[in-house]
A and B are shown apart, each in its own frame.
Chain A
Amino acid sequence: MNAATVSKAVLLGACALALTACNLMMPSPMYTSPRQDPGFRLLSTVRLEVKESEDRGAIRGAVLDGDSVANTYKYNVVLNQYFGPDLAAYRVDELGYASFYSLQEMYANNLDAAVADNIGGFLCNDNAGEIDRVNFGIGTTEVQISTMESAAQSLLSGAKLGGVAWSATGAFRSLAYANGDLAVGSHNPIGGAMTQVGPGPFAGGIPAIVSTFQTLTDSGGGFWGQNYIEFGKFGFSQAGAFSWFVARRVDNVRGIKEERLVSLPDAGGAPITSPHRPLGTAGAYIIAYDEKRAPAHQVLVLDGGLGTRTKLRIVGDDYVYLGERDLMIDAMPTPHALFLVMTRHRLDDETAELYLNLYAYPVSGL
């Protein structure tokens, strides 16, 4: 091998090295943890690699996890990935470590209205009109829903339970409805005696709400009936002295769904409605949105009158509002609204990686 051959080989090798080491593809602004606006604090990040042979890897729902420590910010996230008949779920701890488990689909479908339990796991509707306590790694047990149903009937004769919610302070509220009337009761603890919130039921509340629907309307003889609404997510704010819930009508034939956000002031009066879509409660406010539009999602902060107090911007491919928890700031427990923000990066035909980032925003800043 003479010098010319060696020099050619070296040159060829250098070219090959240059090509393999060069940046052939354009940079991609897919952040693992997107920068959020000032005020947001990144608490944890977890990377999940998912197979996408059938379903696209995405967040089906998420809910904060209860624990013996009330102010943990562990959370449960359910992906749109089937694991047998169940769905893939992860419980993510404060350090960002994810533990896998599977979750029955009925719970996964109702995570929108699920709330953290104060024991461990979360409370979720089971499609059978009951609320179950879902414990990670333990299984599911029914909450004493019958007691709550009975308690609801104490507020309104023949009432049914429209929703139940649990606050960070451990107080429960439930929504009862019967014959077009609404009533909010409080319980502490769950299953205990129910106390009427406010001066009395919202008599004729449901017809008043129905009248605000814009598309799926009727005059009493229609498909839904004059006083018919479906009850969606329910929440309340003790600090704001109001309860709220989602009133929904669905036309499965036409594939149309219309929702109204309803605020029920503790002080009584007519229900207040709005087209905004609630995500949860933070302090004295409702966290809501109108539409999800990546990469900059606009989050609305509504007061009890459903007026827009301020707007936040969440940057990411998707996000979920988890609820309110205290963070230790300067050794002081400080209420924060927790958002789970997802970014997504496709690796190949069947694999994607999801980055789940838990951000906290001080409630005092809302």
Chain B
Amino acid sequence: MRGASIRVAPAVLALALLGSAAFGQGRETAAVEGMAPSRVFFEAGTVVPAAASRFPAVLEFLKLEIEASTRLVVVYLREDADAIATVGVSGAAGAWTLSLSAARRLDGSAGPSLTGNATELTLAKTEAFIRKAARALDAAYPPVPISVTEVVTERVVENKEVRTREQGTILTIRAPEGTRLLLEKKDIVLIDASGVWSLALPQNTAFSYRAELAGRMPVERTLAIGSDDLSDEPVLEPLTAWEAGADIRYANLVLVPAGAWYPVPGRWYVGGAIESSALAMVGSYYEDDKPSLFYLDLQAGAGYWFGTPDQRLRLALEGLLATRLDVGAGLLRFADYATVSAMAAAKLSWRVWDNLSVFIGASSRLAWVNAPSGVDPANLLAAMPLGLGLADGLFRLEWPTFYAGARYGL
């Protein structure tokens, strides 16, 4: 018996290997088709000694049939199996009884159980049993849909990574924390403390973005994406915090020195200006009537620029408080007209180049008329500014005046 087994074993092993190569379907294939086959491990049950020599061959034939004609997969490690099929032989020569019982490995739930008779333990005599057993097992353990399994997941992830590296490139943008990246389709990215932001892009394309950071000149970039990873670091030039310049106001072309400081460069500013009739290039007086008294208007306030610093045209609104002085030989004192006044102005600025801009503006003033006792405030001046007297002349709302100017960032 033992000698027969030893003789048969190489042949069975050869058949098994051949069967695996010729008929075996890889689990990968099934996975590709979307279903995973159930896996069966075969073990010998009760085998009467008289059948021991022939039984391994019968068992191998059964495995071959399983691989060839069912959706099952035979595995050779018990722990890999979904189901355990136990095959046994009883009876005696001429009246063999073959039996098969199956159970799920994990929970031990019983599967199909069947028997068959054969007069000889040959392929021809046991074929009916083998086919019957194969069908029973196939029916009992059909392929199952691929669920999340460790193996499948790993392969899927691995495939994706491979495809990414083969078809795209990584763009890395380095910018200071707080930088806003305005991407295509109006997506906005805020650079965090790491100062780095990355994006996978298709190869051989172009990528445009705009980088903005408070206090810096925005940058617009268009990058050619090739086949290699790319790094870009936009240069966000700091905006000037100080600016100086002058306005030309009124038809008298009054030269008004002005300056500003930007707590938030490019956006908020506080500033001041000095307006004086003494700096009028065109006097509104006759040469032989040159006035002995001039006004000095000291203005301070704050403003806000709309838009972005790289825009050519920008609009600003500003509010100012002003005090006015009378200045003449031997005289320097608060003026009676516009002793204190509030001003509102709007400026439309055009950036000529980097730090130089010119603008036109309009301003209006609400002036306090501090008329001396006995003087009609509506006639305080020989030529009152055009406007509307309010509160019995205590205040005067001046109609707007237009002006132009230039500023240079220091």
Contacts and interface: CB of A to CB of B under 8 A. Distances in A.
Interface stretch (A20-28, A160-168, A244-252, A331-339): A20-28
Given A23-B250, A24-B251, A26-B284, A296 B295 contact: no
Given A22-B400, A28-B277, A343 B374 contact: no
List 8 tightest A-B contacts by C-beta distance, closest first. Answer: A296-B330, A345-B382, A294-B292, A296-B331, A295-B328, A42-B374, A26-B250, A30-B382
A50 B393 CA distance: 28
Interface string B378-406: 01111101110000000000111110000
Contacts of B284: 25-26, 28
B281 to A, nearest CB: 11
B241 to A, nearest CB: 31
A29 interface: yes
Given A22-B402, A33-B372, A295-B328, A355 B249 contact: no
B372 A295 contact: no
B158 interface: no
Contact of A32 (B329, B379, B387): B379
B382 A355 contact: yes
Contacts of B251: 24-25
B33 interface: no
Nearest to A315: B331
Q: Which of A25, A26, A298 has the most chain B CB atoms closer than 10 A to its own CB?
A: A26
B291 interface: yes
A28 B295 CA distance: 8
Interface string B33-61: 00000000000000000000000000000
B120 interface: no
B386 A21 contact: yes
B337 A29 contact: yes
A296 B292 CA distance: 9
A317 B292 contact: yes
B289 A31 contact: no
Contacts of B330: 293, 295-296, 298, 313
Interface string A329-366: 00000000000000111100100110100000000000
Given A293-B329, A296-B330, A30 B288 contact: no
A18 interface: yes
Interface of A: 18, 21-33, 35-36, 41-42, 45, 56, 293-296, 298, 313, 315, 317, 343-346, 349, 352-353, 355
A23 B289 contact: no
B373 interface: yes
A352 B289 CA distance: 10
B68 interface: no
B375 A28 contact: no
A353 to B, nearest CB: 7
Nearest to A297: B330
A239 to B, nearest CB: 29
B254 A56 contact: no
A327 B398 CA distance: 39
Given A18-B400, A23-B386, A31 B380 contact: yes
B261 interface: no
Contacts, number: 120
Nearest to A346: B289
B130 interface: no
A33 B370 CA distance: 12
Contacts of A28: 277, 284-285, 291, 295, 381-383
A24 B277 CA distance: 13
15 contacts: A21-B400, A28-B381, A28-B382, A30-B291, A31-B337, A31-B381, A33-B372, A33-B375, A42-B373, A295-B328, A296-B328, A296-B331, A345-B383, A346-B285, A346-B286
B211 interface: no
Contacts of B295: 27-29
B294 interface: yes
B310 interface: no
Given A30-B383, A31-B336, A42-B373, A56 B288 contact: yes
A32 B402 contact: no
Given A27-B338, A30-B291, A298-B330, 19 more contacts: A22-B386, A22-B401, A23-B398, A25-B284, A26-B249, A26-B284, A27-B277, A27-B337, A29-B277, A29-B335, A32-B382, A35-B336, A56-B288, A295-B328, A295-B330, A296-B328, A315-B331, A317-B292, A346-B285
B381 A22 contact: no
A304 to B, nearest CB: 27
B170 interface: no
Contacts of B379: 32
A27 B399 CA distance: 12
Contact of B385 (A27, A296, A345, A349): A27
Contacts of B291: 28-30
Nearest to A352: B289
Nearest to A36: B372
Interface in B264-314: 277, 280, 284-286, 288-289, 291-295
A352 B379 CA distance: 16
Contacts of A21: 386, 399-400
A298 B289 CA distance: 21
Contacts of A352: 289
Contacts of B336: 31, 35
Contact of B329 (A22, A29, A296): A296
Nearest to B332: A296
B318 interface: no
Given A24-B251, A27-B385, A29-B277, A295 B375 contact: no
Q: Which of B329, B382, B383 has the most chain A CB atoms closer than 10 A to its own CB?
A: B382
B326 interface: yes
B24 to A, nearest CB: 83
B153 interface: no
A12 B287 CA distance: 36
Given A30-B293, A32-B379, A294 B373 contact: no
A23 B398 CA distance: 8
B374 A24 contact: no
Nearest to B401: A23
Q: Which of A35, A56, A293, A343 has the most chain B CB atoms closer than 10 A to its own CB?
A: A35
B252 interface: yes
Contacts of B398: 23
A313 B333 CA distance: 13
